[in-house]
C-alpha cells in the first residue's frame, strides 16, 4: 500500500486517541508534568544500553527507557550507542586485530562474546550487548515503554524498515501498544522514512530546527527533541504552536538533563519530556518545586 494511503487507513483504524505521545493531551498554554525518560536505560547506575540498565530504570520506578539501535555485519539489530564497540565493550582484548572495531564490521555471534559491563563496573562483568529482540523482551517483561533511537542510519541502509518489521513481529505496532513507543533519530530522513512506512508510529526528531522550518517537520514528526542547553521558553512555545502528523500539537523532549537545576529550568520552559541518565534526580527536582 502506498504510504499516504496507509496513513489514512491507520488513522481510520486506530483513531486519534491511540496515537498520543505523553503530554500531547495538553492544549497550547497548558503544562502537564514532563515525562521522565531513562536515557540508555538508567545509565548513571548500570552500563548503558544493557538489560541491567533497563531493569534499573524499572526498579527506580521509571516507565520510559531510551536506547540506540544499530546493525551488525550479518544484519542483526543490536542496542549500542557508539558506531564502534571500543568504549563500551572489551572488543580490543577479544579481537585485537580488528581496529577500528566498528559495529557494522562484526557479526552478531562475535558481538555476543563481548563483555559490555566490565568497563562500567566489575559488578556488571558478563553483561552482553543486547540484540534488539532481547531488549524488547526485557522492556515488555518490565512493562516499560520505549523511546527507540535509530542511531547512525546513514551507515545502515534500510534499517528503518528492518526495525519496524521486528517491532511488528514483537506486536509493538499493534493497537494495544500505542502510547508505549516513540521512534526518534538525528536524521530527518530516517524519521520521515519511519513515518511514511508506519504512519501510526509516534516519531521524534533529535535536534533544533529553525522555527521557520518547523512546519516542514510537523508533516512527519510528533516531537522536536533538542539538547537542553540549546533550549529556551520561546522555542518550546514555538514548537507547541504547530500541529503534528497525528493532529496533536508538536511536543518537546529535552536531553540529557542530569542535575536538578537543569531539570527545573527546562520544566519551566514547558517541555513535555526530560531524558536523563539520572531520572531519579530529575524526578526529585520536579517534586521539590
Ligand atoms: O535521546 C536523546 C539522546 O540519546 C541523543 O543523544 O548521543 O545520547 O544518543 P545520544
Ligand atoms: Ca540516544
Over the stretch 136-181, which tens digit does the pLDDT of each residue have? 999 999 999 999 999 999 999 999 999 999 999 999 999 888 899 9
pLDDT at 7 over 70: no
Q: Which ligand has its closest atom nearest to the C-alpha of 257?
A: 1
Mean pLDDT of the chain: 92
Domain containing residue 20: CATH number: 3.20.20.190
Confidence of residue 17 (pLDDT cuts 50, 70, 90): very low
Q: At what angle are helices 188-197 and 159-169 packed, to 10 degrees? A: 40
Ligand 1 pocket by C-beta < 6 Å: which residues? 39, 66, 68, 81, 149, 206, 255-256, 275
Establish whether 195 is a catalytic residue. Answer: no
Q: Measured from the CA of 40, which atom of ligand 1 is nearest?
A: 4
| Helix H or strand E segment including 115 | none
Cβ burial, residue 177 (10 Å; 0-12/13-18/19+): middle
C-alpha cell at 14: 486506530
Residue partners of 219: CB distance under 8 A and separation at least 6? 245
The domain tally of the chain equals 1
Using only C-alpha atoms, the chain has a radius of gyration, in whole angstroms, of 19
So what's the pLDDT on residue 5?
39
Q: What is the pLDDT of residues 122-139, one digit of tens each?
A: 999 999 999 999 999 999
**Largest distance between two CA atoms of the chain:** 57
C-alpha cell at 109: 555471534
Dist. CA 39–CA 48, nearest whole Å: 8
Establish whether 39 is a catalytic residue. Answer: yes
Out of 21, 67, 80, 81, give the residue to mutate to test ligand 1, the one with the largest number of ligand atoms within 8 Å of its CB.
81
Q: For 281-289, what is the mean pLDDT?
A: 92
The parent domain of residue 111 ranges over 2-288
> Around Cβ 164, how many Cβ atoms within 10 Å?
18
pLDDT at 8 over 90: no
C-alpha cell at 204: 521524534
Give SS3 for 77. strand
Q: Which ligand has its closest atom nearest to the C-alpha of 254?
A: 1
Q: Measured from the CA of 275, which atom of ligand 1 is nearest?
A: 1
Dist. CA 200–CA 203, nearest whole Å: 9
- What pTM was computed for the model? 0.92
Dist. CA 45–CA 280, nearest whole Å: 11
Out of 256, 258, 273, give the residue to mutate to test ligand 1, the one with the largest number of ligand atoms within 8 Å of its CB.
256
Q: For 106-119, what is the mean pLDDT?
A: 98
Q: What is the pLDDT of residues 68-106, one digit of tens each?
A: 999 999 999 999 999 999 999 999 999 999 999 999 999
Dist. CA 65–CA 216, nearest whole Å: 28
Q: State which residues have CB under 5 angstroms from ligand 2, the bound ion.
A: 68, 149
Amino acid at each position: 500500500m502506498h504510504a499516504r494511503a496507509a496513513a489514512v487507513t491507520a488513522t481510520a483504524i486506530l483513531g486519534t486517541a491511540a496515537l498520543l505521545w505523553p503530554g500531547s493531551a495538553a492544549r497550547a498554554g497548558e503544562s502537564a508534568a514532563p515525562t521522565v525518560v531513562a536515557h540508555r536505560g538508567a545509565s548513571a547506575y548500570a552500563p548503558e544500553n544493557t538489560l541491567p540498565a533497563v531493569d534499573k530504570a524499572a526498579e527506580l520506578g521509571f516507565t520510559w527507557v531510551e536506547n540506540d539501535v544499530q546493525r551488525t555485519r550479518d544484519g542483526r539489530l543490536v542496542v549500542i550507542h557508539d558506531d564502534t564497540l571500543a568504549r563500551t565493550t572489551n572488543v580490543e582484548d577479544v579481537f585485537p586485530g580488528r581496529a577500528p572495531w566498528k559495529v557494522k564490521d562484526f557479526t552478531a555471534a562475535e558481538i555476543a562474546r563481548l563483555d559490555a559491563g566490565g568497563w562500567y563496573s566489575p559488578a556488571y562483568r558478563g553483561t552482553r550487548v543486547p540484540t534488539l529482540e532481547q531488549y524488547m523482551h526485557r522492556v515488555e517483561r518490565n512493562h516499560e515503554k520505549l523511546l527507540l533511537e535509530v542511531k547512525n542510519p546513514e551507515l545502515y541502509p534500510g534499517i528503518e524498515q528492518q526495525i519496524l518489521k521486528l517491532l511488528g513481529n514483537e506486536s509493538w505496532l499493534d493497537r494495544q501498544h500505542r502510547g508505549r513507543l516513540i521512534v526518534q533519530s538525528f536524521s530527518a530522513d530516517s524519521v520521515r522514512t519511519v513515518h511514511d512506512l508506519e504512519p501510526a508510529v509516534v516519531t521524534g526528531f533529535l535536534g533544533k530546527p529553525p522555527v521557520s522550518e518547523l512546519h516542514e517537520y510537523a508533516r512527519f514528526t510528533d516531537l522536536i527533541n533538542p539538547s537542553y542547553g540549546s533550549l529556551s521558553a520561546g522555542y518550546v512555545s514555538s514548537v507547541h504552536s504547530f500541529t503534528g502528523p497525528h493532529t496533536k500539537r508538536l511536543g518537546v523532549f529535552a536531553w540529557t538533563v542530569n542535575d536538578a537545576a537543569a531539570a527545573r529550568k527546562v520544566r519551566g520552559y514547558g517541555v513535555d519530556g526530560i531524558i536523563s541518565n539520572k531520572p531519579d534526580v530529575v524526578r526529585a527536582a520536579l517534586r521539590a518545586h
